[in-house]
Structure 1
Amino acid sequence: MATLAAPVAAVRLAVRRALDRPLDADPAPPGPAPGRAAGRVLVACSGGADSLALAAAAVFVGPRRGVDVGLVTVDHGLQAGSARRAQDVADWARKAGFAPVEVATVEVGGRPGGPEAAARDARYEALVSAAHRHRAGTVLLGHTRDDQAETVLLALARGAGPHGLAGMPAVRRLDGIALCRPLLDVTRAQTRAACAALDLTPWDDPHNTDPSYARARVRSDLLPALVEALGPGVVGNLARTAALVAADTAALDALAADHLTAARDPAGGLRVAALAALPAALRGRVLHAWARELGAAPAALSHRHVEALDALITAWRGQGPTFLPGGIRVARHGGHLGAG
């Protein structure tokens, strides 16, 4: 009997754990939850080593766990030959036993943010739409431990705070669909080795080595330099830091939600006295959550905006209103904060 290659076993084990895990045990925003990942899942597969290894593991493990496994490959239209590559991935998927299989073509141009953010937003919209269309509650994404370490470094560089340092969540819900990352404890080297062991030929996206992209520079220059200076454990340590910060952040966010409820006034504003009594870490989270409720776009809402709201509480000198993204006006009237 042939011995199963260790990298293949590692990826399959990660997928099995993800499929067996009760997804509603994970922190998530309010909304319909798919419960367990039973029934049908879709794999997001670009043809790169990470998503190809994930797909191969999912189509092996899924049927053995009573789960139908489909595949979606997204054509961003950003490179010559992208449609052909997407079709090649779809052809492989059909032969490998995935059903359904879909090529989703998206428009990236004209979206807000940089090219990386625009492509990501378009991709997630397409994946969620495909999941609804095919009645799948979960989409599996191929992000690895290395991707998580890169995300933490980029968050540090931006000064993103705890939510950024928490990295990518193992499970995130978007429009009722669970976006699940089973490979956050699997390395990029393992996914490449798994593909080699399974005689799969991954596609290497040239964007991953294009120095015009910040993540590509972190991948090719910064992270290798850190490994050389601090040792190979730095990648796992960065990913572990993200997991620890994520757990703390989830607990603080839950407390903040309770305090937001307690601070509300009958007019829809917030009582200053209730906010002033909170530690700064909790008060900032309460104000951030309230600003989002008022309609401030999360991507545009910065620490500067939250500090301005906080000044209406802790540094009140009769100053005028502060303005949040979208032109939202927040002012203090006596012992209350209100919008409008």
Structure 2
Amino acid sequence: MTGPAPAVAAVRAAVAAALGDVGPGELVLVACSGGADSLALAAGAAFVGRKTGWRVGAMVVDHGLQPGSDEVAATAATACVALGLDPVDVVRVDPTGPGGPEASARAARYAALDVPEAAAVLLGHTLDDQAETVLLGLARGSGARALAGMPATRGRFRRPLLGLRRADTEAACAAQGLTAWQDPTNDGSRPDAPLRSRVRTEVLPTLDRVLGPGVAQALARTAAQLREDADALDGLAGELLAELRTHAAGLDVDALANAPDAIRRRALRTAMIEAGSPAGALSRAHVLAVDALVTDWHGQGPVALPGGVAARRAYGRLALGPADSGVQPS
């Protein structure tokens, strides 16, 4: 008796490993677009769920960004039902919002998928997606947190397939007779293709050809190492911020100045976000300008930040709050 195809076995093993803490009877939801990655994940979760006793369902998010998106969503839902998933829901979201269409669509998608009743929500990102994320972060000059890529687990969201290639999910679908949807936006040769698709179609193959095979795996390893470093530094920054806030209003600039640059700047960025500045709008230039209030003070005025927030220094303390409040630290 032969076992499953290697790619099918790999997907199933990845799902089992990622959800080892989920008990029988708990609800696991698969975010399924109908593409090869999420369809292979849905099939793997359905199989493992039958062995473990999970309730495995699916959510199909229709952004309405392409003609016929409702038909694509309905086809994906039908495929999930055929795999034995239950419940299977199609959710239509409004992709309009701040940050451009891609960012707003992503925000709407995650909001719809964040189902409190689910023990885990599975996302179909692969090692290839991780490599593309790292390359885009490098090109944009992003910091270590962005270069750390996508986490395997964040809250109830889990990405079991981050160790597998896109070729593995395509092979898993083929071996199980599953017909995956081919998203036309993934064709990076089109003049209107999203930047990520062009990285996928043009940049990564070029890097493999010039540097040799294995670039995607190397980028994913880099992301994992940077995530460890970023987690450690973020933890130290959080401890610094918590200690500073146990005292009087505002942050003591002398205590901040004595902290290592990486920890101090992370603490300042966190304080800016907590004061109301959108994380996605904060650049390194903003962080360095506020940092200068601590390390290069020569009487400069408030630093304006995104979201109508300002940083001010007075009487040896740094305060962050509404730009028009005029409140000074005491």
* TM bin (shorter chain): over 0.9
Tell me the distance in 1 between the aligned counterparts of 2:292 and 2:23.
Answer: 45
Tell me the distance in 1 between the aligned counterparts of 2:216 and 2:128.
Answer: 6
AA in 2 matched with 1:228: R
Give a deviation string over 1:103-151, Cα, whole Å, max 9, x none: 0111113x112222122111111111xx23xx21211000000000000
Does structure 2 conserve the Cα–Cα contact (< 8 Å) formed by 1:37 and 1:138? Answer: no
Give the stretch that moved more between structures: 85-94 or 40-49.
Answer: 85-94
Q: Secondary structure at the match of 2:163?
A: coil
Tell me the distance in 2 between the aligned counterparts of 1:297 and 1:37.
Answer: 37
> Partner of 1:139 in structure 2?
121
TM-superposed deviation, 1:158: 0.8
Does structure 2 conserve the Cα–Cα contact (< 8 Å) formed by 1:49 and 1:192? Answer: yes
Query: Structure 1: any 5+ residue segments left out of the alignment?
Result: 23-35
TM-superposed deviation, 1:272: 0.6
Does structure 2 conserve the Cα–Cα contact (< 8 Å) formed by 1:169 and 1:181? Answer: yes
Tell me the distance in 1 between the aligned counterparts of 2:218 and 2:135.
Answer: 12
Equivalenced residues, count: 317
TM-superposed deviation, 1:285: 0.5
Give the stretch that moved more between structures: 310-319 or 258-267.
Answer: 258-267
Give a deviation string over 1:289-320, Cα, whole Å, max 9, x none: 11111111111111111111110011100111
Tell me the distance in 2 between the aligned counterparts of 1:90 and 1:320.
Answer: 56
> Partner of 1:255 in structure 2?
236
**Normalised TM-score (structure 1):** 0.90
The reply to whether residue 46 of structure 1 matches residue 33 of structure 2 is yes
Give a deviation string over 1:264-298, Cα, whole Å, max 9, x none: 36443100111000111111101011111111111
Q: What pairs with 1:1-340 in structure 2 (closer than 5 Å)?
A: 1-20=1-20, 22=21, 36=22, 39-109=26-96, 111-128=97-114, 131-132=115-116, 135-173=117-155, 178-209=156-187, 210-212=190-192, 213-264=194-245, 266-339=247-320, 340=327
Q: Secondary structure at the match of 2:282?
A: coil
AA in 1 matched with 2:200: R
Tell me the distance in 2 between the aligned counterparts of 1:10 and 1:257.
Answer: 38
Q: Secondary structure at the match of 2:12?
A: helix
Tell me the distance in 2 between the aligned counterparts of 1:271 and 1:322.
Answer: 17
Does structure 1 conserve the Cα–Cα contact (< 8 Å) formed by 2:122 and 2:157? Answer: yes
> Partner of 2:323 in structure 1?
none
Tell me the distance in 2 between the aligned counterparts of 1:2 and 1:337.
Answer: 67
TM-superposed deviation, 1:37: 6.6
TM-superposed deviation, 1:95: 2.3
Does structure 1 conserve the Cα–Cα contact (< 8 Å) formed by 2:302 and 2:313? Answer: yes
Does structure 1 conserve the Cα–Cα contact (< 8 Å) formed by 2:124 and 2:161? Answer: yes
Q: Secondary structure at the match of 1:72?
A: strand
Does structure 1 conserve the Cα–Cα contact (< 8 Å) formed by 2:253 and 2:294? Answer: yes
Tell me the distance in 2 between the aligned counterparts of 1:141 and 1:288.
Answer: 28
AA in 2 matched with 1:183: L
Query: Would the alpha carbon gap of residues 182 and 119 (structure 1) be closer, same or farther in structure 2, given more than 3 Å must change?
Result: same
Does structure 2 conserve the Cα–Cα contact (< 8 Å) formed by 1:265 and 1:271? Answer: no
Give the stretch that moved more between structures: 1-10 or 97-106.
Answer: 1-10
> Partner of 1:30 in structure 2?
none
Q: Secondary structure at the match of 2:121?
A: strand
Give the stretch that moved more between structures: 115-124 or 245-254.
Answer: 115-124
Q: Secondary structure at the match of 1:183?
A: helix
Q: CA RMSD in A?
A: 1.3
Tell me the distance in 1 between the aligned counterparts of 2:201 and 2:83.
Answer: 33
* Off by >6 Å, runs of 4+ in structure 1: none
TM-superposed deviation, 1:211: 4.3
Does structure 2 conserve the Cα–Cα contact (< 8 Å) formed by 1:296 and 1:326? Answer: yes
AA in 1 matched with 2:88: V
Does structure 2 conserve the Cα–Cα contact (< 8 Å) formed by 1:53 and 1:195? Answer: yes
Identity %: 54
Tell me the distance in 1 between the aligned counterparts of 2:65 and 2:224.
Answer: 33
